[in-house]
């Protein structure tokens, strides 16, 4: 957007990725100390800080992502008189909660949508779900292109673009052995990402096929929705599990892995499936909104019912026993990603939409 003449200002909480983001994007950045968890007093403070910032900056558009940034950003933007207030929905946290927490999160989603002038679910299945659940005025809802918040950078997620030194270092880290079969999971190590059933299914697979390994690329997050003690113990002690930690270069793991498994309980439009598709890595994923917009069972990958550990186990066994079929699915997914989800295509659509909306003001 900066290259197209927009004056882009970024806002987020602080974090270890900030330095890299600043170098890559070349845009001014402001810190508002938002957190993932519900914290009413801290959230009110962030709302006030965001309001003051927006009153000072006077932007033409405020575009938010993630539930907490959406709630605070959309409310602050409305209070500050910003005319174009866009919120992208990339997953609904409440679908995996119950009781009072669920009611509060539903209220937050509805309040965010009410404060926004435009709500962009990043998949068609997410839009359909939001209409059915009456989370937003249907007139505000729109899916940009074929979905995705950001597309996939095919110049980066491309086997030809990999650096040999980093390839070697990544393989060394996991003690890569070509005689082994590698399942890969990429994402935060929390219950909502399906870690508990993935580990239970893998333990069963490993009993029959001790030449298998499960690589977990991601960090434990215990603040909200931690994995079970059993899962944590398996990650730390099971001989077939490789805890690789957080990485910003997941393509180097996808390059040699036999199958990516994405058992998440909720998604908007998962980047990791597009990235695996671009790398030609076969995928197994849960049957949830977002996943089903990218993967078609038996055509571009394998799908199992969410939280169903027995089905996941069966799909993992199938992948082990039918490598040629899995490679065929991967080639179909690669073609789909290159055709529809190229980041340049998604960015052009977003840019055109911004110009259209500002011209109409």
Q: What is the DSSP string of 316-344?
A: HHHHHH-HHHHHHHHHHHHHHHHHH-BHH
Pair 210, 132 in one domain: no
Residue 237 lies in a domain: yes
Quote the mean pLDDT of the chain. 94
Pair 46, 75 in one domain: yes
Judge whether 84 and 117 are in contact, CB under 8 Å. yes
| pLDDT higher than 90, residue 174 | yes
pLDDT single digits (tens) 305-317: 999 999 999 999 9
| Residue with more model confidence, 78 or 123 | 78
Pair 22, 146 in one domain: yes
**Confidence (pLDDT) at 340:** 87
Residue 1 lies in a domain: no
**Confidence (pLDDT) at 30:** 97
| Per-residue confidence band for 87, with pLDDT thresholds at 50, 70 and 90 | very high
**Confidence (pLDDT) at 17:** 87
| pLDDT higher than 90, residue 119 | yes
Q: Which helix (H) or strand (E) is 309 found in, with range? A: helix 309-321
Residue 291 lies in a domain: yes
Q: What is the DSSP string of 128-194?
A: HHHHHTT-S-GGGB---TTS-SS-B-TTTSSGGG--HHHHHHHHHHTT--TTSEEEEEES-BSGGGT
Pair 293, 350 in one domain: no
Residue with tokens 């079929």: 325
Q: How far apart are CA 289 and CA 132, in angstroms?
A: 13
Pair 40, 95 in one domain: yes
pLDDT single digits (tens) 299-344: 999 999 999 999 999 999 999 999 999 999 999 999 999 988 999 9
Q: How far apart are CA 26 and CA 2, in angstroms?
A: 9
Supply the range of the domain harboring residue 183.
159-340
**Confidence (pLDDT) at 56:** 97
For residue 203, count CB atoms less than 10 angstroms from its CB and return exposed for 0-12, middle for 13-18, buried for 19 or more.
middle
| Per-residue confidence band for 91, with pLDDT thresholds at 50, 70 and 90 | confident
Pair 285, 236 in one domain: yes
- DSSP letter for 96, please: G
Radius of gyration for the chain, computed over Cα atoms and rounded to the nearest angstrom: 21
Number of compact structural domains in the chain: 2
Please give the average per-residue pLDDT across 175-199, as a whole number: 95
**Confidence (pLDDT) at 264:** 94
Pair 329, 248 in one domain: yes
| pLDDT higher than 90, residue 224 | no
Question: What is the model's pTM?
Answer: 0.78
Pair 119, 168 in one domain: no
Judge whether 130 and 46 are in contact, CB under 8 Å. no
pLDDT single digits (tens) 237-280: 999 999 999 998 999 999 999 999 999 998 778 899 999 999 99
Please give the average per-residue pLDDT across 19-46, as a whole number: 92
**Confidence (pLDDT) at 98:** 83
Tokens of 35: 């957190």
pLDDT over 70 percentage in the chain: 99
Residue 5 lies in a domain: no
Q: How far apart are CA 316 and CA 302, in angstroms?
A: 9
CATH number of the domain that 329 lies in? Answer: 3.40.50.2000
Pair 187, 310 in one domain: yes
Pair 171, 317 in one domain: yes
Residue 244 lies in a domain: yes
Residue 322 lies in a domain: yes
Pair 205, 316 in one domain: yes
Other CB atoms within 10 Å distance of the CB of residue 67: 20
Pair 42, 165 in one domain: no
Residue 4 lies in a domain: no
Q: How far apart are CA 202 and CA 185, in angstroms?
A: 11
Residue 289 lies in a domain: yes
């Amino acid at each position: 957007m900066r290259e197209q003449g927009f004056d882009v200002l970024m806002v987020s909480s602080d974090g270890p990725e900030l330095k890299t983001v600043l170098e890559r994007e070349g845009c001014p950045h402001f810190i508002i100390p938002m957190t993932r968890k519900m914290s009413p007093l801290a959230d009110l403070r962030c709302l006030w800080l965001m309001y003051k910032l927006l009153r000072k900056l006077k932007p033409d558009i405020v575009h938010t992502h993630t539930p907490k940034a959406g709630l605070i950003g959309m409310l602050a933007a409305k209070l500050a008189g910003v005319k174009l207030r866009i919120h992208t929905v990339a997953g609904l946290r409440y679908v995996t909660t119950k009781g009072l927490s669920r009611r509060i999160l539903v209220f937050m989603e509805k309040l965010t949508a009410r404060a926004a002038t435009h709500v962009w679910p990043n998949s068609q299945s997410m839009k359909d779900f939001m209409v059915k659940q009456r989370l937003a005025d249907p007139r505000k809802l729109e899916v940009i292109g074929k979905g995705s918040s950001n597309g996939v950078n095919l110049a980066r997620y491309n086997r030809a673009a990999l650096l040999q030194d980093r390839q070697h270092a990544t393989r060394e880290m996991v003690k890569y052995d070509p005689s082994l079969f590698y399942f890969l999971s990429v994402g935060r190590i929390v219950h909502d990402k399906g870690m508990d059933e993935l580990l239970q299914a893998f333990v069963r697979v490993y009993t029959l096929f001790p030449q298998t390994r499960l690589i977990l690329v991601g960090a434990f997050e215990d603040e909200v929705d931690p994995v079970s003690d059993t899962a944590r113990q398996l990650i730390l002690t099971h001989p077939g599990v490789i805890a690789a930690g957080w990485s910003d270069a997941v393509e180097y793991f996808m390059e040699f892995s036999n199958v990516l498994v994405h058992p998440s309980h909720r998604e908007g439009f998962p980047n990791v499936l597009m990235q695996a598709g671009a790398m030609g890595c076969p995928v197994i994923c849960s049957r949830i909104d977002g996943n089903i917009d990218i993967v078609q069972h038996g055509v571009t990958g394998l799908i199992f019912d969410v939280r169903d550990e027995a089905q996941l186990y069966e799909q993992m066994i199938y992948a082990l026993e039918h490598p040629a079929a899995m490679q065929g699915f991967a080639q179909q997914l690669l073609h789909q990603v290159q055709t529809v989800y190229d980041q340049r295509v998604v960015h052009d659509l977003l840019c055109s939409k911004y110009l259209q909306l500002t011209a109409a003001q």
